[in-house]
Amino acid sequence: LGDIPHTRMVPTVNGNADPLYQQVANRLIDLVEQGTLRPGERLPSVRRLHKQWGVSVSTVLEAYRVLEDRGVLDVRPQSGHYVRARAHRAPLPRAEPAPTTPRALDSDLMVRITLRAGQQGLTRLGCGLPERDLLPLSELDKVISRVARTCRDSHDYVVAPGHIRLRRALARRLVDAGCTLSPEDLVITNGCTEALDLCVRTLTKPGDTVVVESPTYFGLLEILRAQDVQVVEVPNHPETGVDVDAVARALEEHDVAAVVVSCNYTNPLGALVPLEQKRRLVALCTDNEVPLIEDDAYGDLGFEGDRPPSLKAFDTDGWVLSCGTLSKTLSPGLRIGWVAPGRFLSEICRRKLISTLAGATVPQLAAAEYLQNGGYDRQLRRLRRSYRSLLRQMCEAVTDRFPDGTGISRPRGGQFLWVELPEGRDAMELFEKAWDAGISIAPGPMFSPSGGYRSFFRLNGSVLWTPVVDEAITKLGVLAGSCEPAPD
Ligand SMILES: Cc1ncc(COP(=O)(O)O)c(C=O)c1O
């Protein structure tokens, strides 16, 4: 047991931390993932772990039971618990080289696939919906009916920049993201989608060049396509996110109207950009006087430690426009998003006024009330804890059931797994075959400005692990084995 590091377990207080057995299980998974405990090795006996980690025998037994169910360990009668010897550990997906010359976006794959995904009866592993059963919907419903009944202005226009109560509540929350903002620095939008759209339409005109990371969120690509701008791709690494050196090169080589990135638990990679790189990126755009649009939709959904700062936290001169949303943590149907547009505040506000005049009032009031008094921190802890364990479970199932050589991301937060099929197999073929089998996935080319990532796809790993999902992953693994290499 000498090389099993000591660990301090946090007692469960009002559901504020994982149950102890889950903490023990998570810690053991960390040790397996870090290679401290290797496949085939015996785990410490229940009694030793009980003594060494200061948790009860039944807690250790429960943790071992969870790990057995998850296929992390095997029980050998009379002998003990052993780390399951996997045929392979899935490698990380690769970052594909991206074209460095500006190009127009000509595919509307996202719109076509999103329209198709409305179909009934699908097992939805492609879309980015948060898990419904993990959202505080009944509390939220109560808040909505209370504010609708009691707030005198609930049927008034609340013109841009949006309801002061919500802007106040958000400014307070964004302290956790390292931001010092006043309510006057924020504009409420119809989700993060409208925030991004307002930024792109305010800062660019057709034909301009915009720098984006690749792979990136397909909704952003559609917004850029609608604005008829050219894009320059910069690589996005599965663990450390946007390549800041490549952004620097793009700024040197092209006349760039804006840079758009996501730095915290990115979609689709789940990457987290290191602090120093965030600081560098903001300094680079500030020095070049280029607006930096940040999509921080998943910043609240990290699996460990404190919430990472948004790029706005490093913004000294107002060049960062930081977009956020409650869609991923509270309710996508509320349609509450925002932008902190820095020096572009008045232009963004004017554009919001022109395009929609005002956002719906009741959702703004309800969101403000929930953020102030509804237990949002508790909700975030619950989501983080659940997503961490659900994503792990899906990652293990994909590792076990997909063809050897399949690559999988190891997200540090967010909702997604990014999967690379081996031998260049065609993820568009997998998409079609899966669709016929009643399963939706998001194929890689949706996330590429240039039709790349043909062997990649995204899974929503935040769905509850039901027998239907379990069967769908098995089916996808079999179908992946039957796919041909993608055409060049
Ligand atoms: C990275 C990213 N940004 C923005 C959005 C859109 O969010 P909203 O529902 O707030 O418009 C999504 C939704 O999937 C997303 O993944």
- Mutating to test ligand 1, I would choose from 213, 262, 327, 331 the residue with most ligand atoms within 8 A of its C-beta, which is 327
- 242's tokens: 């946007």
Question: What is the spatial distance between Cα 210 and Cα 232, in angstroms, rounded to a whole number?
Answer: 6
- Mutating to test ligand 1, I would choose from 187, 214, 217 the residue with most ligand atoms within 8 A of its C-beta, which is 217
* Residue 480 exposure: Cα atoms within 13 Å on the Cβ side: 29
Q: Which of 434, 436, 417, 416 is nearest to 425 (CA)?
A: 434
CA-nearest residue for atom 7, ligand 1, is 192
Which residues touch 361 (CB under 8 Å, ≥6 apart)? Answer: 153, 154, 155, 156, 157, 158, 163
Helices (H), ranges, 34-108? 46-53, 57-69
Atom of ligand 1 nearest to the CA of 193: 11
Question: What is the spatial distance between Cα 329 and Cα 339, in angstroms, rounded to a whole number?
Answer: 17
Q: Which of 261, 211, 264 is nearest to 100 (CA)?
A: 211
Atom of ligand 1 nearest to the CA of 326: 10
Distance 5 CA to ligand 1 centre (A): 39
Q: Which of 309, 239, 232, 313 is nearest to 272 (CA)?
A: 239
Distance 128 CA to ligand 1 centre (A): 8
Which residues face 187 on adjacent strands? 339
Helices (H), ranges, 318-375? 345-356, 361-373
First-to-final CA distance of the chain: 51
State which H helix or E strand residue 264 sits in: none
Q: Which long-range CB contacts under 8 A does 1-7 form with residues at least 24 apart?
A: 1/44, 1/48, 1/52, 3/36, 4/31, 4/36, 4/37, 4/44, 4/52, 5/31, 5/36, 6/52, 6/53, 7/53
Question: What is the spatial distance between Cα 46 and Cα 75, in angstroms, rounded to a whole number?
Answer: 12
* pLDDT tens series, the chain, 488 aa: 444 555 555 544 344 456 788 888 888 888 887 778 888 889 989 999 999 999 999 999 999 988 887 778 888 878 889 888 764 468 889 888 777 788 888 777 777 777 776 677 889 999 899 999 999 999 999 999 999 999 888 899 999 999 999 999 999 999 999 999 999 999 999 999 999 999 999 999 999 999 999 999 999 999 999 999 999 999 999 999 999 999 999 999 999 999 999 999 999 999 999 999 999 999 999 999 999 999 999 999 999 888 999 999 999 999 999 999 999 999 999 999 999 999 999 999 999 999 999 999 999 999 999 999 878 999 999 999 999 989 989 998 999 999 999 999 989 999 999 999 999 999 999 999 999 999 999 999 999 988 899 999 999 999 999 999 999 999 999 999 999 999 87
Ligand 1 pocket, residues with Cβ under 6 angstroms? 128, 191-193, 217, 219, 262, 267, 295, 297, 325, 327, 332, 337
- 487's tokens: 């055409």
